[in-house]
Amino acid sequence: MRALRIAAAVELLTLAALLINLFTVHTEAVSSLGGPVHGTAYLAVIALTWATTPGDTAPGTRPRSVVPGVGGLLVLRRLDRLRRLRRGGPAGAAPHVTDPPGRAR
């Protein structure tokens, strides 16, 4: 889990650096170094997600890892939510509604 967190952070930070570089000074050295680092982090996120999460963890956990730039963060958010649900804590989901909207008692 720690390696996934690191890879997700590197993926996001290198993407931000590449985009900032692209829209400002466009230094080739930043692109030459940042591109491969970003690609490696992207592949690491995918590999770590598929290696550390069982297929039945939750529908959609593994496919989230292939979203470029933020896939790692989406996976971490999903796994954190699942962990909180299993412990019985709040998962950040919408409150449970017992009656449909507009229905008076």
> Is 77:89 a contact under the CB 8 Å cutoff?
no
Q: What is the pLDDT of residue 55?
A: 72
Number of H-type helices and E-type strands within the chain: 4, 0
Q: What is the pLDDT of residue 102?
A: 57
* Residue 12 structure tokens: 């996001």
| Displacement of CA 29 from its chain's centroid (Å) | 27
Render each residue's pLDDT in the chain as its tens digit; 105 residues.
899 999 999 999 999 999 999 999 999 999 999 999 999 999 999 999 999 888 777 788 999 999 988 999 999 999 998 888 888 866 555 544 454 555 554
* Residue 48 structure tokens: 């770590």
- Alpha-carbon distance of 101 to 15, in angstroms, equals 42
